[in-house]
Homo-oligomer: A and B are copies of this chain.
């Protein structure tokens, strides 16, 4: 069987996650071709070679261009900072490689649109790293919605909160410069949007508020103005008319990886929190009235593809496992098979929604999201 030959650019948090995913996707799923970790790119030769040895790559380069131009490589994982995505993805696609690029697409909407154009021109799979949608719990929520278990959905709330910028005493960082985007809005907001898209489709109207909890930060030269917004709240409408909101914060002490979803329908409700990613909660009115209550459902082998990892219920998948599932879905897309994933085609909708949110904030009024 022809192997899948992988190129990887970047070896940070996401680079390692991609390496682990490529490494495990075949033993976990069994139904994919052999995977060859072929060519690793990093900022310099030394680091590239060291990480290649660790991750099990055959070749290593201090220049990412050698990875995308390697004739043996079939697919390139791009895990570098966002500002490099356009150039790398475009080059890889132009070289006839499939692309697995970390989210978001790019700092500017125009760059993202250009990436989409490259993907369309290439005809190759171009998938974004929206891993939260790969959780069997999320997949099961989608199934419950499709089956109408909670009836038509009329209201949705999503909060995404962490606290890595919550310390007011922490010094000014690059992240606090406007050149990197809006702050929480684009850094975090894309995740809730990926979940909304997966579960419900498009967001149609938005009205955004943003706030700076700490307007200035220390620098060696004195306080400096923080140019981005660590908190954002966005009221919105979905395609089906449902109302809802997204609230995101990077300064929410105590929240580490919270993505709390509340979905309300005519016959019940569903709750989920990423910090307890192996659970979902379901309330249905079909239960007898005196025993209605939110059920804490633990993920289990009957929530595929949990079964590919563990044959026993309640035993917990982890964050890195979601990346393995995402890799499997990428391979499906490479093979032109049905795939639960957010490609550039879908990802651009998320980017356009973020842009509309930002405009609504600037204008102080509701904005329609362009299709």
Binding site for B on A (CB under 8 A): 13, 16, 19-20, 23-24, 26-28, 30, 34, 53-56, 140, 144, 149-151, 154-155, 157, 159, 162, 164, 166-168, 207, 209, 211, 213-214, 231, 233, 235, 243, 245, 247, 249, 251-258, 262, 264-269, 275-278, 281-285, 287, 289-298, 300, 302-303, 309-321, 364-366
Contact = CB atoms under 8 A, between A and B. Distances in A.
Task: Return the 6 tightest CB-CB contacts between A and B, nearest first.
Answer: A256-B314, A318-B318, A254-B283, A211-B243, A293-B295, A154-B213
Residue with the greatest number of chain B CB neighbours at <10 A, chosen from A258, A303, A319: A319
Contacts of A144: 291
A214 B19 contact: no
Contacts of A281: 293
A256 B213 contact: no
21 contacts: A151-B168, A154-B213, A155-B231, A155-B251, A162-B312, A209-B243, A213-B264, A252-B262, A253-B264, A253-B267, A254-B283, A255-B314, A256-B300, A256-B315, A281-B293, A290-B300, A309-B318, A310-B319, A316-B317, A317-B318, A317-B320
A155 B252 contact: yes
Contacts of A365: 364-365
A316 B257 contact: yes
